[in-house]
Amino acid sequence: MATLNCCDAGGTAQNEGSWKNRRPPPHWTVMPSTQDTTRTTLVGAFRRLMPTVWHYRGRVFAALAFLVVGKLANIAVPVVLKHLVDGLDVKPSPLVIPLLLLMAYGALRLSTSFFQELRTIVFARVLARTSREITLRVFAHLHNLSLRFHLDRRTGGVARDVERGMTSVSDLLDWTIYTILPTLFEIAVICTILMLNYDWSFTAITLATLLVYIAFTFSMTEWRLRFYRAANEADTEANARNVDALLNYETVKYFGNEQHELRRFDVSLRNLEEATVKSQKSLAALNIGQTAIVAVGLTLLLWRASAGVVAGALKIGDLVMVNAFLIQLSIPLNYLGMVYREVKQALTNIERMFGLLAEPQEIRDAPGAKSLALRGGEVRFDDVSFGYDPARGILHNVDFSIPAGKTVAVVGTTGAGKSTLSRLLYRFYDVNGGAIRIDGQDIRAVTQESLRNAIGIVPQDTVLFNDSIYYNIAYGKPEATRDDVIAAARAAHIHEFIVSLPQGYDTGVGERGLKLSGGEKQRVAIARTLLKNPTILVFDEATSALDTRTEKVIQAELAEIARERTTLVIAHRLSTIVDADEILVLDHGRIIERGTHSGLLAHGGRYAALWAMQQQARETSPASPLRVVEAVTT
């Protein structure tokens, strides 16, 4: 998606171009439109940013010093120019060029740019580092938010907002500290010079022009912000839909819905188009008004100066100096109007970033939480009740334990709450009732980091990073050696496949691992978990995407690995859990049966019925996965 540089830079066309060459306009919005955010003021934004900036106060003050020197040099240019013109206004005697004044004029011109660039060099580190630290803070906070938060948000929209926010932090600081304040300083000095050296009318006209200009700019900007906000909303929505469609490329192709996705995308693009056009039109009206106000002020001041020269009260040099001052003043006036608009727009964006940072962290470590102390890894679900929505319970008084080193399997139809058990064990959510304990410790009383370090999972839906196979396996333990990674791949029976590839372990897996088959992705996930070497294992249909032969090989390997670990197996295919120490049958969030495989078959209940249906489906139609699924889910 294109950003809105063209319609929100502000200022006249000439000044807009030169300004945009210096630095890009801000684009920072975080969070979808559904978030309720409060308006952020400039003072409030600085209150949040200044603790980070204060770490580099030496650079800040040095940059300010360079800026003041540069501004004073810039103001001195018209003064030297006045004396230069007066020096050339000679009598019939031979012309003598005032070389010192010429040299001073050139030196001041050079100094203006030199100290400005010095300021940029000194302050560049502050801008970049502050932007980096704030962005990292947002990134870390996103990872600390609950799974519930991320399921309710569009990844593409959030990613787009964070991207725009990364540049807005530095731009906001640069414009306010080194543009607005210096501009006001320059205006104050020029007005003081005019007041001390000329008739009061010069100062009155200048101040009147300035006040009218600022009032007009502020009122027009407040009116225009609605279009900018609407454009940002449309831009974020369009990007979210774009990313969503591309991430689900195969699904779009499966159903031939390219035109449907184009139409959905075009709705957001149309909204963006309308907001952009309105913003462009209002910008044109704003620029015309600003130019008219400055032109009237310049004309009045030059009229007063010309009248003074004609009356003999002023010299030609005075006329030149006043003219130069006014032209010089009109430039920061244009910048001031543009910067005000950009700062307001940046604040419109930054308020959503702050809203994201203010998003409550649903799952937090308890005050004084200690690391999980493992003494074997016994897991107990103690009368656990839970629901994603308080009005709709998922688990009801679930009570079971997994002794250290033992394996417990959970089976049941889709929606029975099996995968919810693993999410609660990882503490992606907190239980509504009861408790989950590991070695007698309530997982809500230990740190999340230590809890998750103790658990390894092979999920049913394996999503890989768009990187190499090696990276995805090593993700289970980033500090592992290459030999460790290869050993894990061998244990997952994927090493031979990897080395057969032209690029071996450096082979890219594509977006979400789509370059690999389902079975290959599953084996990478198994290798990743094996590399982590956790005390507690969770297999959520870990072999569901494998062929029968590979499944048997890996199942034997998993059984060997699980023998020394506490293991929770979530399964649909009952043939994969016949050796479990205990099998739980879950139905609508309640345990209705429990026991060993042979015991449950002898009992003749729900488990026995499921087993019989799966065996019958396998015997009557081994080549029909649809009938197997129908039998399992009946």
What's the pLDDT tens digit per position in 193-207? 888 888 888 888 888
- How far apart, in whole angstroms, are the C-alpha atoms of residue 197 and residue 444? 74
Residue 447 pLDDT more than 70?
yes
pLDDT given at position 39: 55
Residues 157 and 230 in one domain: yes
Q: Where is average pLDDT lowest: 23-27, 161-165, 427-431, 562-566? A: 23-27
Identify which has the larger pLDDT, 230 or 609: 609
What stretches of 518-595 show up as alpha helix (H) in DSSP?
518-532, 548-562
E-only strand ranges, 334-439? 379-386, 395-402, 407-411, 433-438
Asked if the structure places residue 307 within a domain, the reply is yes
Question: Is the CA virtual torsion 503, 504, 505, 509 positive or negative?
Answer: positive
Residues 505 and 573 in one domain: no
pLDDT given at position 358: 67
pLDDT given at position 568: 93
pLDDT band at 566 (very low <50, low <70, confident <90, very high): very high
Asked if the structure places residue 9 within a domain, the reply is no
DSSP run (H or E) holding 46: helix 42-53
Residue 360 pLDDT more than 90?
no
Residue 401 pLDDT more than 90?
yes
With b meaning 16 or more CB within 10 Å and e meaning fewer, what string describes 222-246?
A: eebbebbbbbbbbbbbbbbbbbbbe
- What is the torsion angle, in degrees rounded to the nearest 10, for the CA atoms of residue 229, residue 231, residue 232 and residue 234? 120
- How far apart, in whole angstroms, are the C-alpha atoms of residue 49 and residue 119? 20
Mean per-residue pLDDT, 449-466: 85
Residues 199 and 304 in one domain: yes
Nearest CA-CA partner of 133 in 141, 145, 143 = 141
pLDDT given at position 155: 54
Asked if the structure places residue 29 within a domain, the reply is no
Grouping H, G, I as helix, E, B as strand and the rest as coil, residue 392 is strand
User: How many domains are there within the chain?
Assistant: 3
- How far apart, in whole angstroms, are the C-alpha atoms of residue 633 and residue 37? 44
Asked if the structure places residue 26 within a domain, the reply is no
Asked if the structure places residue 3 within a domain, the reply is no
Residues 503 and 483 in one domain: yes
Identify whether the C-beta of residue 409 lies closer than 8 Å to the C-beta of residue 583.
yes
The last residue of one of the domains, among 533, 566, 584, is 533
Tokens of 169: 């932090």
Question: Is the CA virtual torsion 478, 483, 487, 493 positive or negative?
Answer: positive
Count of residues in the chain: 634
What's the pLDDT tens digit per position in 522-544? 888 888 888 888 999 998 876 66
What's the pLDDT tens digit per position in 95-127? 455 778 778 888 888 888 888 888 888 888 877
Grouping H, G, I as helix, E, B as strand and the rest as coil, residue 604 is coil
Nearest CA-CA partner of 299 in 321, 327, 274 = 327
Of 101-105, 106-110, 215-219, 608-612, which has the strongest mean pLDDT?
A: 608-612
Residues 482 and 542 in one domain: no
Residues 122 and 75 in one domain: yes
The last residue of one of the domains, among 299, 325, 357, is 357
For residue 203, the 8-state DSSP code is H
Asked if the structure places residue 267 within a domain, the reply is yes
Mean per-residue pLDDT, 389-394: 79
- Give the CATH number of the domain where residue 92 resides: 1.20.1560.10
Residue showing tokens 């779009």: 252
**Phi then psi dihedrals of residue 431, to 5 deg:** -65, 150
Residues 429 and 497 in one domain: no
The last residue of one of the domains, among 357, 391, 408, is 357
Tokens of 123: 């302050």
Average pLDDT, the chain: 77
Q: Where is average pLDDT lowest: 236-250, 443-457, 598-612? A: 236-250
Count Cβ atoms below 10 Å from residue 463 Cβ, excluding itself: 12
pLDDT given at position 518: 75
Residue 13 pLDDT more than 80?
no
pLDDT given at position 8: 38
Helices 316-357 and 155-175 sit at what angle, rounded to 10 degrees? 150
Asked if the structure places residue 1 within a domain, the reply is no
Identify whether the C-beta of residue 425 lies closer than 8 Å to the C-beta of residue 378.
no
pLDDT given at position 16: 35
Identify whether the C-beta of residue 180 lies closer than 8 Å to the C-beta of residue 217.
no
- How far apart, in whole angstroms, are the C-alpha atoms of residue 108 and residue 129? 32
Residues 405 and 485 in one domain: no
Identify whether the C-beta of residue 399 lies closer than 8 Å to the C-beta of residue 406.
no
Instruction: Give the chain's end-to-end CA distance (angstroms, integer).
Output: 46
Mean per-residue pLDDT, 146-156: 60
What's the pLDDT tens digit per position in 260-272? 888 888 888 888 8
- The alpha carbon of 87 is separated from its chain's Cα centroid by a whole number of angstroms, namely 60
- How far apart, in whole angstroms, are the C-alpha atoms of residue 473 and residue 483? 12
Residues 180 and 50 in one domain: yes
Q: Which residues, 6+ apart, have CB-to-CB distance to 59 below 8 Å?
A: 122, 123, 125, 126
What's the pLDDT tens digit per position in 336-350? 666 776 777 777 667
Identify which has the larger pLDDT, 399 or 365: 399
Inter-CA distances, 610 with 225, 269, 592, Å: 62, 51, 13
E-only strand ranges, 439-512? 441-442, 455-458
Domain extent at residue 497? 462-533
What's the pLDDT tens digit per position in 294-329? 788 878 888 888 888 787 777 777 778 877 777 777
- How far apart, in whole angstroms, are the C-alpha atoms of residue 192 and residue 618? 94
What's the pLDDT tens digit per position in 470-524? 999 998 888 989 999 999 898 888 899 999 999 999 998 887 777 888 778 888 8
Residues 492 and 633 in one domain: no
Q: Which residues, 6+ apart, have CB-to-CB distance to 476 below 8 Å?
A: 456, 488, 527, 528, 529, 530, 531, 532
- How far apart, in whole angstroms, are the C-alpha atoms of residue 313 and residue 185? 29
Tokens of 215: 């009032």
Residues 513 and 543 in one domain: no
CA angle 578, 584, 587 (to 5 degrees): 125
For the chain, give the percent of residues with pLDDT over 70. 79
- Give the CATH number of the domain where residue 547 resides: 3.40.50.300
Asked if the structure places residue 574 within a domain, the reply is yes
pLDDT band at 550 (very low <50, low <70, confident <90, very high): low
What's the pLDDT tens digit per position in 15-31? 333 333 333 333 333 33
Residues 384 and 518 in one domain: no
Inter-CA distances, 244 with 250, 264, 482, Å: 12, 11, 35
- Using left for φ > 0, alpha for ψ between -120 and 50, and beta otherwise, residue 584 falls in beta
